[in-house]
Every structure is written in C-alpha cells, then in structure tokens.
C-alpha cells in the first residue's frame, strides 16, 4: 500500500505571472533629546515651550506593483505616511513612481511617467544625480519620490576592451502641476547619460540643460579592484550657480559661480563578513564655516529681538533662508562618511549591528548612529537605531535642535 500520491507536473506552477504586488507596513516611533540652547531649536520653537524630550510616532504603508504584457510593463509605487507629534496628527499619500515601459527589442527600452532614475555611484551622496531628489545620508536606502520624465535607453555589447555602451536621453517637463519643484516653470529640460563598461570599470557621462536649472555636467565611475574591494567616485559642475548667504552684518548677499562637487568612496568586505564603507564628499554649493556662523548668529539675534519685543520678522526671514539652502541636509562643504556593519556576529543568524558616522571637516562636528538589525522572522524586520550629535557653538551639528535621537523601526513585508 502506498501512502504517497503520484506527483503531477503543472506547467502553470512554473509560468511567470504577468503581475506582481507587494510592499511593506512600518511602525516607527522616535524619541528626541532637545537642545534648547541651539540656534535651530530657537528658530523652530521660539514661540512654544517644550521639556527636554519630544516623541513622535510614524506609520508608513508602501505599496508597489507591476503588470507585464508582451513588450509593455506598468509599474507603480505609492506611499502613505501617518505622523503624530507635538503638532498633532497628519497624513500624506504620494505616488513615488508610476510609469509605462516599452521594450520593443533587447537593446531598446522606452519609458514615460514618474520615475526615480538613481543616477550616481555614491552611497550617501550623489552630486551627479541631477534628476533625483537628494538622499538622506543618515538613511540613504529609503525610497525617494521621482519626477515625471520621458526617457529611452539604448544598449549595445561589444567584443574587446569596451564591453558595453548605452545611451539614456531624458526629457523633463516643468509646468504648472508637473515637476513644479524641479525648477523654473514652462521649460522642457533635456538630460542624458552615456554609459561605458570599459574593461572592468563602469563609467557614466551625464548632462542636464533646458532652462529650469542652470546647465550641469558630470561623470561617475566604479571599479572592483578585487572581488571584495570596490572604489567609486563622482564629479559634477553646476554652471552659474547662485548662492544666497548672510554676511557678518546680517545682510543677504548673492554670489554666482560655477560650482564643482565631487565624491570619492570605497567599499571593502572582509573575510569575517564585515563591510566597511567610506566616502569623502566635497559640496561645491555648500556654505563655508563663516557663512554658517553668520546664519546662526542671525538666528540668535532674531531670537533675542523676539524675546524682548515680540517681533519675529527676523526669525521668519531666517526660516526663508533655511528653505533657500541653509536648511539642506549637510549644507556645508566638506564631509566624511563611514559605515561599518557586521553580518551574523558571534554566529547569531539574521543579526547585523552597524555603526554610521558623518563628520564635518569644516567645523569638526559630527554624528554617530549605532544600530541593531534583526531579520530572523519571515517577512519581519526590526531595527533599533540611535543618533548622537556632537559639535561646538556655531557648528553645523552643534546647532541642531536635537542632542540625540532613538528610533525603533518595525517593518513587515508582504
């Protein structure tokens, strides 16, 4: 007597489904330790009273899916963020990406819609990512909202030192309701990327023109020197870049120049499964130490004026300057980034501790972020992360509104 049934092969089990659907749900509570003596604390909370800490609860739902039929493919990614903090609750739903892709041949792809292009080889920063929103260096792998573009990609392979070549032209319209935050309206911008795989080196030549932004050009590269040692870099120039800044007398000035930015990084994986990542970033559009000190001094004078007279006009002016550039992530000129992570230490499976640091070479301030990541349960991810900020008066990190932050991220993938 047989207890096993004959196995019947069903070809439908091996056929690729025309659609995919997935995403994750995330709960992320945070605790901030506030620095009431810092300039940015005074700028944000000058008319409010807080204790030494502040909490925040975040929920995110990310949904993405695709459908393929013949040479066509549709892809969409939407994100809903719910937040509850001292200001109350808020909700925001955005389409991060949504585009149609056509592939009439193995060498040609055409796409139209909202897309994040992910240009550049850097991990924490990408000076050549002219068509992407900037990453958060503290969490560079977070998904980003794209822009509405039309693009094509032609790729060709060769025998010889040049192994692969591709050309990617991109059109970026800017009008009312379309890419309004990209730059000046009523322009059709042209960008492009030339890719070369020469021997074992990846090279990109990149440009952007069209009127919404001043012309910019760049290149990047990456190469594996050994199987576990990689080096990468980027260089970009922005023509006629205009920078608004505060002078020592508190007057707003504007300077125009060709801004050069570059990045050089390396990644090394040891025999013990330890990953080391280091990057140096030169931000040609950034502010000098003196320009940042002038800005922080401007805030402090505005705060003193508000405390004595109730007049907050200077603080509102400082807030406008923050949106114009001073409030960017890492707004200064020279930075070092490092990240060290260890996979399965002490034979603890699915456990990865890591340490990340960002050091400002201009004013010697820095942040350190240790984290613990566990993925041992199917479809679940748990990350506990801290952030400590160190810096003196009038330094970038020393004048931030927080001294530290503690964050727990619980994510379920489906």
pLDDT of residue 2: 41
Kindly list the distances between the CA atom of residue 81 and the CA atoms of 27, 65, 76, 312, in Å, as whole numbers in the listed order: 10, 18, 17, 31
Per run of 10 residues, the mean pLDDT along the chain (length 414 residues) is 48 73 98 95 89 93 97 98 93 97 97 97 97 95 97 96 97 96 96 97 97 96 96 97 90 93 98 97 96 96 95 94 89 98 96 98 97 97 97 96 96 98
pLDDT of residue 11: 52
User: Tokens standing for 292?
Assistant: 């940042």
Which residues fall within 8 angstroms of residue 138, CB to CB, at 6 or more apart? 329, 356, 358, 367, 369, 387
> Computed over its alpha carbons, how large is the radius of gyration of the chain?
24
pLDDT of residue 75: 98
pLDDT of residue 10: 58
Kindly list the distances between the CA atom of residue 129 and the CA atoms of 123, 234, 328, 330, in Å, as whole numbers in the listed order: 12, 10, 16, 16
Half-sphere exposure for 230 (CA within 13 Å, toward CB): 19
The residue ranges of every structural domain in the chain are 17-413
pLDDT of residue 12: 52
pLDDT of residue 359: 98
pLDDT of residue 324: 80
Which residues fall within 8 angstroms of residue 40, CB to CB, at 6 or more apart? 299, 399, 400, 401
Q: Which CATH architecture has domain 17-413?
A: Beta Barrel (2.40)
Strands (DSSP E) along 35-177, which ranges? 53-69, 72-85, 88-105, 108-115, 147-157, 162-174
Which residues fall within 8 angstroms of residue 306, CB to CB, at 6 or more apart? 46, 47, 312, 314, 315
Kindly list the distances between the CA atom of residue 85 and the CA atoms of 68, 88, 219, in Å, as whole numbers in the listed order: 41, 5, 42
pLDDT of residue 5: 47
User: Tokens standing for 54?
Assistant: 């502040």
Half-sphere exposure for 196 (CA within 13 Å, toward CB): 13
Question: 268-276: which pairs have CB atoms within 8 A and are 24 or more residues apart?
Answer: 268/228, 268/229, 268/230, 269/228, 269/229, 270/228, 272/342, 273/342, 273/343, 273/344, 274/340, 274/341, 274/342, 274/343, 275/339, 275/340, 275/341, 275/342, 275/343, 276/338, 276/339, 276/340
């Amino acid at each position: 007597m047989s207890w096993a049934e004959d196995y019947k092969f069903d070809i439908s089990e091996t056929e690729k489904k025309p659609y995919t659907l997935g995403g994750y749900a995330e709960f992320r509570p945070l605790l901030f330790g506030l620095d009431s003596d810092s300039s940015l604390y005074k700028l944000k909370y000058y008319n409010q009273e807080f204790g030494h800490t502040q909490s925040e609860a975040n929920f995110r739902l990310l949904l993405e899916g695709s459908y393929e039929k013949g040479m066509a493919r549709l892809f969409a990614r939407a994100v809903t963020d719910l937040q509850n903090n001292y200001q109350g609750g808020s909700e925001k739903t955005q389409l991060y990406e949504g585009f149609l892709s056509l592939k009439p041949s193995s060498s040609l792809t055409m796409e139209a819609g909202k897309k994040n292009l992910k240009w550049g080889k850097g991990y924490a920063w990408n000076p050549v990512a002219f068509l992407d929103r900037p990453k958060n260096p503290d969490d560079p792998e977070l998904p980003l909202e794209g822009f509405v573009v039309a693009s094509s990609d032609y790729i060709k392979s060769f025998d010889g030192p040049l192994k692969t070549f591709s050309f990617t032209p991109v059109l970026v319209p800017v009008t009312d309701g379309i890419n309004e935050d990209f730059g000046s309206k009523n322009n059709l911008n042209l960008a492009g990327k030339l890719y070369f795989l020469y021997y074992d080196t990846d090279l990109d030549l990149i440009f952007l023109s069209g009127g919404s932004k001043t012309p910019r050009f760049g290149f990047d590269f990456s190469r594996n020197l050994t199987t576990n040692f990689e080096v990468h870099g980027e260089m970009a120039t922005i023509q006629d870049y205009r920078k608004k800044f505060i002078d020592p007398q508190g007057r707003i000035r504007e300077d125009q120049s060709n801004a050069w930015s570059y990045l050089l990084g390396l990644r090394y994986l040891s025999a013990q499964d330890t990953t080391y990542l280091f990057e140096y970033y030169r931000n040609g559009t950034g502010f000098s130490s003196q320009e940042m000190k002038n800005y922080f001094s401007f805030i402090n004078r505005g705060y003193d004026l508000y405390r004595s007279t109730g007049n907050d006009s200077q603080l509102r002016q400082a807030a406008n300057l923050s949106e114009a550039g001073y409030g960017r992530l890492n707004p200064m000129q020279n930075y070092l980034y490092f990240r060290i992570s260890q996979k399965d230490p002490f034979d603890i499976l699915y456990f990865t501790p890591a340490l990340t640091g960002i050091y400002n070479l201009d004013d010697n301030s820095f942040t350190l972020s240790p984290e613990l990541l566990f993925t041992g349960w199917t479809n679940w991810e748990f990350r506990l992360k801290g952030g400590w900020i160190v810096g003196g008066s009038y330094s970038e990190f020393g004048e931030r509104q927080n001294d530290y932050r503690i964050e727990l991220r619980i994510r379920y993938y489906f």
